[in-house]
Amino acid sequence: MDAAVNSVRIIPAVAVPEGAGVTVYRTIGSPVLRDYDPFLLLDHISSDKPEDYKAGFPSHPHRGFTTFTYMIDGHMEHQDNMGNSGDLGPGSAQWMKAASGIIHSEMPKQKNGLMRGFQLWINLPAAHKMDHPEYQEYPAEAFPVVKMQDYTVKVLIGRFADTNAPITDELTGVSYYDVRVQPGKHFQHRLPAGNNSFLYVFEGDGQLGEQRVPLHSWVPLGAGEGSFDFVAGKKGARLLVVSGKPIGEPVARYGPFVMNTREQIDQAMQDFQSNNFVRDRAWIKRNQ
Protein backbone atom coordinates (compact mmCIF):
# COMPACT_ATOMS: atom_id res chain seq x y z
CA MET A 1 0.00 0.00 0.00
CA ASP A 2 1.17 3.52 -0.78
CA ALA A 3 2.39 5.77 2.00
CA ALA A 4 -0.72 7.94 1.56
CA VAL A 5 -2.79 5.42 3.50
CA ASN A 6 -0.24 3.40 5.46
CA SER A 7 -1.92 4.36 8.74
CA VAL A 8 -5.65 3.69 8.70
CA ARG A 9 -7.84 5.74 11.00
CA ILE A 10 -11.47 4.65 11.19
CA ILE A 11 -14.26 6.93 12.40
CA PRO A 12 -17.69 5.28 12.86
CA ALA A 13 -20.77 7.32 11.98
CA VAL A 14 -22.72 8.69 14.94
CA ALA A 15 -26.52 9.03 14.97
CA VAL A 16 -27.62 12.63 15.62
CA PRO A 17 -30.96 14.47 15.34
CA GLU A 18 -31.08 17.13 12.62
CA GLY A 19 -33.68 19.36 10.97
CA ALA A 20 -37.09 18.89 12.61
CA GLY A 21 -35.98 15.63 14.20
CA VAL A 22 -34.52 13.57 11.35
CA THR A 23 -31.99 10.92 12.38
CA VAL A 24 -28.75 11.26 10.38
CA TYR A 25 -25.46 9.41 10.68
CA ARG A 26 -22.62 11.92 10.85
CA THR A 27 -18.87 11.60 10.47
CA ILE A 28 -17.38 14.91 9.30
CA GLY A 29 -18.87 17.68 11.43
CA SER A 30 -19.04 15.55 14.58
CA PRO A 31 -17.15 16.23 17.84
CA VAL A 32 -14.61 13.60 16.77
CA LEU A 33 -13.98 15.21 13.38
CA ARG A 34 -14.95 18.87 13.23
CA ASP A 35 -13.92 19.28 9.58
CA TYR A 36 -11.61 17.86 6.93
CA ASP A 37 -10.59 20.76 4.73
CA PRO A 38 -12.37 21.60 2.42
CA PHE A 39 -15.17 19.37 3.77
CA LEU A 40 -17.31 20.61 6.64
CA LEU A 41 -19.97 17.93 7.13
CA LEU A 42 -21.01 14.50 5.86
CA ASP A 43 -24.48 13.28 6.84
CA HIS A 44 -25.95 9.92 5.86
CA ILE A 45 -29.70 9.23 5.98
CA SER A 46 -30.54 5.53 5.95
CA SER A 47 -33.82 4.22 7.32
CA ASP A 48 -37.05 2.47 6.33
CA LYS A 49 -38.75 3.83 9.46
CA PRO A 50 -40.82 6.96 8.68
CA GLU A 51 -40.27 8.34 12.19
CA ASP A 52 -36.57 8.68 11.34
CA TYR A 53 -37.13 11.04 8.40
CA LYS A 54 -40.75 12.20 8.04
CA ALA A 55 -40.13 15.53 9.85
CA GLY A 56 -37.71 16.58 7.13
CA PHE A 57 -35.69 19.78 7.03
CA PRO A 58 -38.07 22.76 7.11
CA SER A 59 -37.02 26.18 5.82
CA HIS A 60 -33.50 27.13 6.96
CA PRO A 61 -30.65 29.40 5.76
CA HIS A 62 -27.14 28.67 4.46
CA ARG A 63 -24.24 31.03 3.83
CA GLY A 64 -20.57 30.60 2.95
CA PHE A 65 -20.38 27.08 1.50
CA THR A 66 -21.74 24.58 -1.04
CA THR A 67 -24.02 21.62 -0.33
CA PHE A 68 -24.10 18.45 -2.41
CA THR A 69 -27.08 16.15 -1.87
CA TYR A 70 -27.11 12.64 -3.34
CA MET A 71 -30.23 10.46 -3.06
CA ILE A 72 -29.93 6.69 -3.31
CA ASP A 73 -33.45 5.58 -2.31
CA GLY A 74 -36.61 7.58 -1.68
CA HIS A 75 -37.76 11.05 -2.67
CA MET A 76 -36.85 14.43 -1.18
CA GLU A 77 -38.41 17.69 -2.37
CA HIS A 78 -36.31 20.85 -2.44
CA GLN A 79 -37.73 24.39 -2.38
CA ASP A 80 -36.03 27.74 -1.87
CA ASN A 81 -36.87 31.41 -1.51
CA MET A 82 -35.90 32.08 -5.14
CA GLY A 83 -38.81 29.96 -6.36
CA ASN A 84 -36.75 26.92 -7.32
CA SER A 85 -38.06 23.46 -6.53
CA GLY A 86 -37.25 19.90 -7.46
CA ASP A 87 -37.84 16.27 -6.60
CA LEU A 88 -34.65 14.42 -5.73
CA GLY A 89 -35.44 10.79 -6.53
CA PRO A 90 -33.32 7.62 -6.49
CA GLY A 91 -29.90 8.20 -7.99
CA SER A 92 -30.35 11.95 -8.50
CA ALA A 93 -28.23 14.73 -7.02
CA GLN A 94 -28.25 18.46 -6.33
CA TRP A 95 -25.25 20.82 -6.16
CA MET A 96 -26.11 24.10 -4.44
CA LYS A 97 -23.59 26.89 -3.92
CA ALA A 98 -25.26 28.85 -1.14
CA ALA A 99 -22.46 31.46 -1.08
CA SER A 100 -23.94 34.86 -0.07
CA GLY A 101 -27.13 33.23 1.16
CA ILE A 102 -30.21 31.16 0.43
CA ILE A 103 -33.18 29.97 2.47
CA HIS A 104 -34.48 26.54 1.51
CA SER A 105 -36.21 23.40 2.72
CA GLU A 106 -35.80 19.69 2.06
CA MET A 107 -38.89 17.61 2.83
CA PRO A 108 -39.61 13.93 2.13
CA LYS A 109 -42.15 13.23 -0.60
CA GLN A 110 -42.93 9.81 0.84
CA LYS A 111 -44.77 8.71 3.96
CA ASN A 112 -43.12 5.32 4.24
CA GLY A 113 -40.45 3.14 2.64
CA LEU A 114 -36.68 3.32 2.47
CA MET A 115 -34.93 6.70 2.54
CA ARG A 116 -31.19 6.72 1.84
CA GLY A 117 -28.90 9.51 0.83
CA PHE A 118 -26.02 11.81 1.67
CA GLN A 119 -25.35 15.49 2.14
CA LEU A 120 -21.82 16.85 1.92
CA TRP A 121 -20.89 20.43 2.86
CA ILE A 122 -17.96 21.85 0.88
CA ASN A 123 -16.30 25.03 2.14
CA LEU A 124 -15.80 28.08 -0.09
CA PRO A 125 -12.64 30.23 -0.14
CA ALA A 126 -13.00 33.65 1.50
CA ALA A 127 -12.96 35.38 -1.89
CA HIS A 128 -16.05 33.43 -2.97
CA LYS A 129 -18.16 33.23 0.19
CA MET A 130 -20.32 36.16 -0.94
CA ASP A 131 -20.64 35.09 -4.59
CA HIS A 132 -24.03 34.81 -6.27
CA PRO A 133 -25.76 31.53 -5.34
CA GLU A 134 -25.73 28.77 -7.96
CA TYR A 135 -27.88 25.67 -8.31
CA GLN A 136 -27.69 22.47 -10.35
CA GLU A 137 -29.91 19.40 -10.18
CA TYR A 138 -29.60 16.24 -12.27
CA PRO A 139 -31.57 12.97 -12.57
CA ALA A 140 -29.92 9.59 -12.08
CA GLU A 141 -29.38 8.99 -15.79
CA ALA A 142 -27.27 12.15 -16.14
CA PHE A 143 -24.40 10.61 -14.17
CA PRO A 144 -22.05 8.29 -16.07
CA VAL A 145 -21.13 4.88 -14.71
CA VAL A 146 -17.75 3.29 -15.42
CA LYS A 147 -18.12 -0.50 -15.45
CA MET A 148 -15.11 -2.71 -14.81
CA GLN A 149 -14.92 -6.43 -14.11
CA ASP A 150 -14.39 -6.03 -10.35
CA TYR A 151 -16.19 -2.75 -9.66
CA THR A 152 -18.38 0.05 -11.00
CA VAL A 153 -17.93 3.78 -10.41
CA LYS A 154 -20.77 6.30 -10.65
CA VAL A 155 -19.11 9.64 -11.35
CA LEU A 156 -21.07 12.37 -9.53
CA ILE A 157 -18.59 15.27 -9.36
CA GLY A 158 -15.38 15.70 -11.30
CA ARG A 159 -13.65 13.09 -13.44
CA PHE A 160 -12.81 9.39 -13.21
CA ALA A 161 -10.45 7.91 -15.81
CA ASP A 162 -11.72 9.45 -19.08
CA THR A 163 -15.26 10.02 -17.80
CA ASN A 164 -16.63 13.39 -16.70
CA ALA A 165 -19.54 14.07 -14.36
CA PRO A 166 -22.06 16.79 -15.28
CA ILE A 167 -21.01 18.64 -12.12
CA THR A 168 -17.58 20.21 -11.61
CA ASP A 169 -16.36 22.20 -8.62
CA GLU A 170 -13.65 24.47 -9.98
CA LEU A 171 -12.88 26.18 -6.66
CA THR A 172 -11.91 23.09 -4.67
CA GLY A 173 -11.50 20.48 -7.42
CA VAL A 174 -13.85 18.02 -5.69
CA SER A 175 -14.33 14.51 -7.05
CA TYR A 176 -17.17 12.36 -5.69
CA TYR A 177 -17.72 8.71 -6.66
CA ASP A 178 -20.23 6.03 -5.70
CA VAL A 179 -18.23 2.80 -5.96
CA ARG A 180 -19.55 -0.79 -5.94
CA VAL A 181 -16.93 -3.49 -5.41
CA GLN A 182 -17.67 -7.17 -6.04
CA PRO A 183 -17.12 -9.66 -3.16
CA GLY A 184 -13.43 -10.22 -2.50
CA LYS A 185 -12.38 -7.92 -5.33
CA HIS A 186 -10.16 -4.82 -5.34
CA PHE A 187 -10.76 -1.17 -6.06
CA GLN A 188 -7.45 0.62 -6.59
CA HIS A 189 -7.33 4.35 -7.18
CA ARG A 190 -4.63 7.03 -7.35
CA LEU A 191 -5.48 10.16 -5.38
CA PRO A 192 -5.00 13.68 -6.79
CA ALA A 193 -1.83 15.42 -5.66
CA GLY A 194 -2.31 17.84 -2.77
CA ASN A 195 -5.89 16.82 -2.02
CA ASN A 196 -7.55 15.62 1.17
CA SER A 197 -9.43 12.42 0.34
CA PHE A 198 -11.67 9.97 2.19
CA LEU A 199 -13.93 6.98 1.77
CA TYR A 200 -17.16 6.04 3.54
CA VAL A 201 -18.53 2.48 3.47
CA PHE A 202 -22.34 2.35 3.38
CA GLU A 203 -22.96 -1.22 2.20
CA GLY A 204 -20.98 -4.31 3.18
CA ASP A 205 -17.43 -3.98 4.47
CA GLY A 206 -13.84 -4.38 3.35
CA GLN A 207 -10.16 -3.92 4.09
CA LEU A 208 -7.41 -1.38 3.59
CA GLY A 209 -4.16 -3.23 4.04
CA GLU A 210 -4.49 -5.26 7.21
CA GLN A 211 -7.22 -3.02 8.64
CA ARG A 212 -10.86 -4.10 8.39
CA VAL A 213 -13.25 -1.29 7.45
CA PRO A 214 -16.75 -2.08 8.75
CA LEU A 215 -20.11 -0.79 7.59
CA HIS A 216 -20.81 2.93 8.23
CA SER A 217 -17.12 3.78 8.62
CA TRP A 218 -15.31 6.92 7.43
CA VAL A 219 -11.60 6.64 6.58
CA PRO A 220 -9.24 9.51 5.66
CA LEU A 221 -6.98 8.63 2.78
CA GLY A 222 -4.43 11.29 3.59
CA ALA A 223 -3.10 14.40 1.90
CA GLY A 224 -0.81 14.43 -1.10
CA GLU A 225 -0.54 12.09 -4.05
CA GLY A 226 -0.79 8.39 -3.42
CA SER A 227 -2.93 5.36 -4.10
CA PHE A 228 -5.07 3.03 -2.06
CA ASP A 229 -6.31 -0.52 -2.50
CA PHE A 230 -9.73 -1.32 -1.01
CA VAL A 231 -10.70 -5.01 -0.90
CA ALA A 232 -14.41 -5.79 -0.50
CA GLY A 233 -15.61 -8.34 2.04
CA LYS A 234 -17.54 -11.55 1.38
CA LYS A 235 -20.78 -9.72 0.58
CA GLY A 236 -19.15 -7.00 -1.48
CA ALA A 237 -19.09 -3.32 -0.60
CA ARG A 238 -20.42 0.04 -1.67
CA LEU A 239 -18.61 3.21 -0.71
CA LEU A 240 -18.22 6.89 -1.38
CA VAL A 241 -14.76 8.00 -2.48
CA VAL A 242 -14.35 11.78 -2.21
CA SER A 243 -11.41 14.14 -2.71
CA GLY A 244 -10.86 17.92 -2.67
CA LYS A 245 -8.22 20.64 -2.49
CA PRO A 246 -7.69 22.08 1.02
CA ILE A 247 -8.44 25.80 1.30
CA GLY A 248 -6.18 26.43 4.29
CA GLU A 249 -8.12 29.39 5.71
CA PRO A 250 -9.64 30.03 9.17
CA VAL A 251 -13.09 28.51 9.64
CA ALA A 252 -15.73 30.22 11.77
CA ARG A 253 -19.04 28.37 11.86
CA TYR A 254 -22.33 28.64 13.64
CA GLY A 255 -25.11 26.28 12.58
CA PRO A 256 -25.84 26.91 8.88
CA PHE A 257 -23.28 29.73 8.53
CA VAL A 258 -19.62 29.08 7.67
CA MET A 259 -17.37 32.12 7.32
CA ASN A 260 -13.79 33.10 8.22
CA THR A 261 -14.32 35.32 11.28
CA ARG A 262 -16.70 35.64 14.20
CA GLU A 263 -17.64 39.10 12.98
CA GLN A 264 -18.80 37.63 9.67
CA ILE A 265 -20.90 35.06 11.53
CA ASP A 266 -22.47 37.85 13.60
CA GLN A 267 -23.26 39.72 10.37
CA ALA A 268 -24.90 36.64 8.86
CA MET A 269 -27.08 36.21 11.94
CA GLN A 270 -28.00 39.89 11.91
CA ASP A 271 -28.86 39.72 8.20
CA PHE A 272 -31.08 36.68 8.74
CA GLN A 273 -32.87 38.20 11.72
CA SER A 274 -33.46 41.50 9.88
CA ASN A 275 -34.83 39.90 6.70
CA ASN A 276 -31.79 41.05 4.74
CA PHE A 277 -30.16 37.65 4.37
CA VAL A 278 -30.38 37.11 0.62
CA ARG A 279 -27.95 39.72 -0.70
CA ASP A 280 -28.38 39.21 -4.44
CA ARG A 281 -31.56 38.21 -6.26
CA ALA A 282 -29.66 37.27 -9.43
CA TRP A 283 -30.02 33.53 -8.89
CA ILE A 284 -28.00 31.53 -11.41
CA LYS A 285 -29.85 28.32 -12.22
CA ARG A 286 -28.58 25.58 -14.48
CA ASN A 287 -31.10 22.73 -14.36
CA GLN A 288 -30.35 20.17 -17.02
Binding site for Fe cation, by residue number, is 60, 62, 104, 106
Three-state secondary structure call for residue 51: helix
Three-state secondary structure call for residue 136: strand
Quickly list DSSP for 95-160. EEE-TT-EEEEEEES-SSS-EEEEEEEEE--GGGTTSPPEEEEE-GGGS-EEE-SSEEEEEEESEE
Q: Which H helix or E strand runs over 61?
A: strand 57-62
CA torsion 44-223-190-200 (nearest 10°) is -10
DSSP β-bridge partners for residue 7: none
Q: Which residues contact 91 (CB under 8 A, 6 or more apart)?
A: 71, 72, 139, 140, 141, 143
Annotated binding-site ranges: 60, 62, 104, 106
